[in-house]
Structures are given as structure tokens and as C-alpha cells.
Amino acid sequence: MKYYGDLRSIITALDEMGDIMHVHREVDGDFEPSAITRRSYEIQSPAPLFHKVAGVAPGFRLFGAPAALSSRSDMPYARVAMSLGLAPESTGPEIIEALSAARFKPGIPPVRVESAQAECQQNILRGAEANLDRFPIPFAHDKDGGRYANTWGTLIVKTPDGKWVNWSIARVMKVDGKRMVGLIVPSQHIGQIWTQWVARGEPMPYALVQGPAPAISCVSGIPIPANADEADYIGTLAGEPVPVVKAISLDLDVPATAEIVIEGHVSIERDYQEGPYGEYGGYLGEGSSAQPTFHVETITHRHDPIWPMSITGRPTDESHTLWAMGLAADALTYLREAELPIKTTWIPEDSTVHWLLVVMPENWRERLPGVSSEALTQRIGEVLFKTDAMVFIPKVYVVDDDFDPTNLREVVWALSTRVHPVGRRAVFEDQRVIRLPQCYDEAEYVAGKGAKVVFDTLQTKRHLHASFAQGYPEEVRQRILDNWPE
């Protein structure tokens, strides 16, 4: 296990594993980097690193698919695992256990270093020089409302009283060299903090950090409890404090090893149209909405900076790996806190964060005497649908542990044979709905409410599988394996 303290060190490690695709020819600054990155997701190729982008100064680079599935079939979650300081061969459930376990450990606060020690402040741009046009920001999809300046960067904000510092990922669209517009959802943590600044009538200071230590990007994109500082949680995962430096123009601390830091203030009104944007559900966006403007005042960056990007869409990208694991870890944490004997939770990548599997151990009835599967299903829904993270997930499946929930072929087999056509489910009406999940109708989006469901697929009696593992005597299986292939 190794913790990577900056983006460059993990790129080097992935390169040594054969999981980096170096693109040395010049690519256009509009769609080509995004299209290459999108194809890399869909064919599960190495992550593309673009060394020469038209229209920007030599040395500026783009890095795509930073936490997607690895091209190494023997360690598919290596990019996520290594980003979090775990072994590259870690399984999905092992990553989820690590994310959940860290929430019960004391946080390790960040440590501030001097500006001279902070790589992110090797170059300081102020005034007219602090301009986004100098950076390689491509269009993510050809139907998007503009170039998206943030798809994998960390937004840092804090409450006016300074008691809560939030590090998060939210999409932010470039307007011009000095302005961006970002999606701020009131229920999300950045939305809660922005609302406090609006109540004071003051623009919210922000720092947009591109290319920090990979664990920072990952944790910024997963749910942890409100009023908890992501920096402390990252320190727990890393086993050491995150080095930070005071921003040049703001009272905010930013990761010292980051590639690029954009500093400024967010307007107190929703004064510019944001979107559309092709989102994680796998469809190109339609329409836009009024969102706050992010004014650009100061930019700092390392020499020859690297701008990372996540090009969301059909599986499998960072939304379906890292974010899905974070949501599953959040669900696992709350279910275990409710004293339910959950073995693991999992969101299949190909469900685009629309399914959650809650996996029960074989002895769950012994551990919950007198509780029926129907009552268990109801209780799971009651726990989950009170949490903020579950606003994204409309369908939950309570399943046995006699198949591999991370193997989509086995998931499809189990669900297709065990989901009852009309019964054995708990429906929860009038649940909170936002526009990002794709399965609701317009009236439900407008109302902000819709149904969610928990399917009870638990078997009253476990059936043996007609498979190689369960359909033949052990000595026959071993003899076949010893002579395979003949």
C-alpha cells in the first residue's frame, strides 16, 4: 500500500503498470481530448495523457479518466484503490469497507506549509493574467452549453463563521476567461454553505483546485456527513496530514501539491445559465438553469501543469466507479449503524448509479430472530431514504450473498430469476427527487418528489446453482481442473 501525495506520482505508478496512454501528437482544443477519453472508458483502455494541446502554451497537459476502470483486467479498480492509498488489486467491496471504516476513526487535520514549499504556487497570476483562456479546457460533449472547467477538480468553500470547510466536486462551466458558472444544488453541502453567504449578502470565496493528490479528488466526490471536513477524513485514509497552503487572495487553505488553483468569489444570485451537460446517466443533456457566477481573480499553478478531466456518460467513468463506491459506502455505514447485519453494499457500474445492492449474509435470520424478509426490506428503505446520498438512487435490491455482486453477469442472472413480477417489494412514495436520475417523468421533477422502491429478492431456502462450482462432486471438479486444458 502506498499513498500518492500528488497527481504526478500516481500517473508515474500507473504508467509503470501499463495503464497510461501517452498522446504525443497535437490534439485540437475543442472535442478531441474528450472524445479520446470517452472512448477510453468504453473500451477500458489505459488512461490518456495529452502532452500537446492546440491553442495553449507548450507544457500544459490534460489527463483523462483518472479513476475509471483500469485496463488491467486482473485489477479493474486499481486507479480508485491506488488513489485512496490501497493496494491496486483491491476489490470493490474492500474499497467500500475502507471508505466506511475511515468514518469511524479520528480525523487527521491538514498541516499548513509556507508558500515557498507549495508546488501549487510556483506560478502566480493576478488581474488580467489570471485568465482561463491560457488553460486547455475542452468541450466535454458536443451538446454541452460550454467548455466545462470543472469535472474532476475540488471546490473549496467554508461557512461565514469558518467552522465548516467543505471540499467537493460539482460541475462548473467556463463562461469566458474571467467567469465560470457552477451547478449549486441547495441540498448538497456546497449549496448549504452558499446559502449562508447569500443570507449575509456577501459573495462566497472559493478555490477551484485541479489535480491535487488523487485521494483529495476521490473524497471530494463521495458523501461524508455534513459539518465534517474532508481534509481530516483524507488524512485518516492517508495515515498522514494533507499539506495545505494559504491561498494567495483568500482566507482559504488549498492543497499544496495541486497542479492549478483558481481563486475568486461566487455571486449571491443565480445570474447566469449553466448547461446543458452530458451526465452520468449516459445521456446528452438538454436545457439549462440559472446558477451563480464564479468570478476568477487569481490563478496559481505548477510548472507544466496537468489538468485532469472526467468525461461523464455511458459506463464506465468516475461516476460509476469512485462516486458509486462512495454512495455504497455511505449506505453501508448507515445500515450498520442501524444494527442491520449487512455483508456489503454495491452499485453495479452498468446501472449508472440507479441500482444499489444490499447483500445479506446467509445467517441473517439467526442474527435478526423473528424478522421476516418483508420487514427487513421495509427497514432498509426507512434507513436509506432518510440519507442525503440516496436522493440519487431510485432502486434498491436486497440480495443473498450466494453470487458475486461485482460481476454484472451474475447480478443479471440473480435479479432476473429472483425479482417477483408484482410483489415482494416495499414502495416509498413522495421521496425526494432531483433531475440527475433519468427514470422519473417531468411532473415528478417539477414537484421534486417521486417513488423509490426496495426489492426483496431473499430466498426462503437457498437453491443450489446449476454451475461448475455447485453442480458436481468436489473430486470430479478437482480432476477436471488438474487436467485443464487437455
Nearest residue to 393 via CA among 441, 357, 437: 437
Beta carbons of 243 and 255 less than 8 angstroms apart:
yes
State how far the Cα of 91 lies from the Cα of 281, in Å rounded to an integer.
Answer: 24
| Residue type at 93 in one-letter notation | P
Element (H, E) at 376: helix 373-384
Q: How many CB atoms lie within 10 A of CB 256?
A: 26
Alpha helix (H) residue ranges in 225-363: 230-238, 324-337
Element (H, E) at 34: helix 32-43
State how far the Cα of 177 lies from the Cα of 135, in Å rounded to an integer.
Answer: 10
Kindly state the cell numbers that stand for 293.
457566477
State how far the Cα of 353 lies from the Cα of 325, in Å rounded to an integer.
Answer: 10
Element (H, E) at 92: helix 92-102
State how far the Cα of 147 lies from the Cα of 141, in Å rounded to an integer.
Answer: 9
Beta carbons of 215 and 89 less than 8 angstroms apart:
no
Beta carbons of 124 and 300 less than 8 angstroms apart:
yes
State how far the Cα of 100 lies from the Cα of 331, in Å rounded to an integer.
Answer: 9
Q: How many CB atoms lie within 10 A of CB 397?
A: 26
Nearest residue to 90 via CA among 318, 335, 315, 406: 406
Alpha helix (H) residue ranges in 403-458: 408-418, 442-447
Kindly state the cell numbers that stand for 259.
497542479
What CA–CA distances, in Å, run from 311 to 42, 296, 315? 11, 23, 11
> How is residue 203 annotated by DSSP?
P
Catalytic member of 230, 279, 318, 349? 279
Q: Annotated catalytic, 279?
A: yes
Nearest residue to 401 via CA among 354, 453, 344: 344
| Residue type at 21 in one-letter notation | M
State how far the Cα of 442 lies from the Cα of 222, in Å rounded to an integer.
Answer: 27
Active site residues: 279
